[in-house]
């Protein structure tokens, strides 16, 4: 099992193949500092190759998911010039890229403020579960800045038309609207319902073979970049390898024998 790094801005709990990562800067509604970005990247690096970690659940402490970037970090970069701003901004984008490509299923449990950087983090999740009372928004332009690293992920999540509206108006909206937009997959009306839904989703994830899930996620993401013919050629090779591999053999035998596969037990 993976050895997790020590963190100052995150709470970590690895149990039953699920890594719970809680953003823990409650004094700033879990605003995304450079330190938090670095710790998130270190946590992901520690479990990326661990097939026993089936899912990563991202959530926030104190009733909020994440209120965006840390203004204090931005103020500190001012004295260092534009290079410092560029590096600060790009580090956040790199973290989003890495989480999107994670072989594990990434689940975002969203409560309270889901703004700016928090909005971007929600967009890279494989499954998003929102509280109905969430406050979503892209406030960057009201501060005279751009949602620079977030924008591509928002467009992929909700489409260009809606992304333009949200980014160019900084409109705030709740969990029900996020569900309508396709930003989240579930919208729940209470804390108990949120936890129940999370349990159901994790139960579904555990029915899926971890290697097959990782390969399938990579294949789905590749559809955005690769030409169809070469992608299908590679997918056929992966299918043949999976059928004759350990998971494929186990899954087939479990089906024939009418029992749960070993990864679902």
pLDDT digits (tens, 9 = 90+) for 35-46: 999 999 999 999
Which residue, among 191, 11, 184, has the nearest Cα to 199 in the 3D structure? 191
CATH match for 10-206 among 3.40.190.10, 3.30.750.200, 3.40.50.720, 3.90.226.10: 3.90.226.10
- Per-residue pLDDT band at 239 (split at 50, 70, 90): very high
Q: Give the fold, CATH level 3, of 210-264.
A: Lyase 2-enoyl-coa Hydratase; Chain  A, domain 2 (1.10.12)
- Each residue's pLDDT tens digit, 202-218: 999 999 999 999 999 99
Q: CATH 1.10.12 in the chain: give the residue spans.
A: 210-264
Confidence at 1, pLDDT banded by 50, 70, 90: low
Residue 77 has pLDDT above 70, yes or no: no
| The pLDDT of residue 74 is above 80 | no
Q: pLDDT (tens digit, 9 = 90+) per residue, 127-185?
A: 999 999 999 999 999 999 999 999 999 999 999 999 999 999 999 999 999 999 999 99
How does residue 105 score in pLDDT terms, banded at 50, 70 and 90? very high
pLDDT of residue 69: 86
Q: Report the share of the chain in percent with pLDDT over 90.
A: 90
């Amino acid at each position: 099992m993976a050895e997790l790094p020590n963190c100052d801005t995150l709470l970590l709990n690895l149990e039953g193949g699920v890594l719970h990562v809680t953003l823990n800067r409650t004094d700033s509604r879990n605003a995304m500092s450079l330190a938090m970005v670095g710790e998130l990247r270190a946590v992901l690096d520690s479990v990326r190759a661990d097939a026993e970690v089936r899912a990563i659940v991202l959530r926030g402490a104190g009733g909020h998911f994440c209120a965006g970037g840390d203004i204090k970090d931005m103020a500190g970069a001012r004295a260092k010039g534009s290079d410092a701003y560029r590096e600060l901004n790009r580090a956040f984008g790199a973290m989003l890229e890495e989480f999107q490509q994670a072989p594990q299923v990434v689940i975002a449990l969203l409560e309270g403020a889901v703004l700016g950087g928090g909005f971007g983090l929600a967009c890279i999740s494989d499954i998003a579960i929102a509280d109905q009372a969430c406050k979503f928004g892209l406030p960057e332009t009201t501060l005279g800045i751009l949602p620079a690293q977030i924008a591509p992920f928002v467009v992929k999540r909700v489409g260009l038309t809606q992304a333009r509206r949200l980014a160019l108006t900084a409109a705030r909206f709740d969990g029900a609207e996020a569900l309508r937009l396709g930003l989240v997959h579930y919208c729940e009306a209470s804390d108990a319902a949120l936890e129940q839904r999370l349990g159901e989703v994790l139960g579904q994830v555990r029915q899926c073979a971890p290697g097959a899930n990782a390969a399938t996620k990579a294949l789905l993401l590749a559809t955005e970049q690769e030409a169809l013919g070469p992608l299908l050629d590679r997918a056929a090779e992966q299918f043949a390898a999976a059928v004759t591999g350990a998971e494929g053999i186990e899954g087939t035998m479990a089906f024939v024998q009418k029992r749960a596969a070993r990864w679902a037990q």
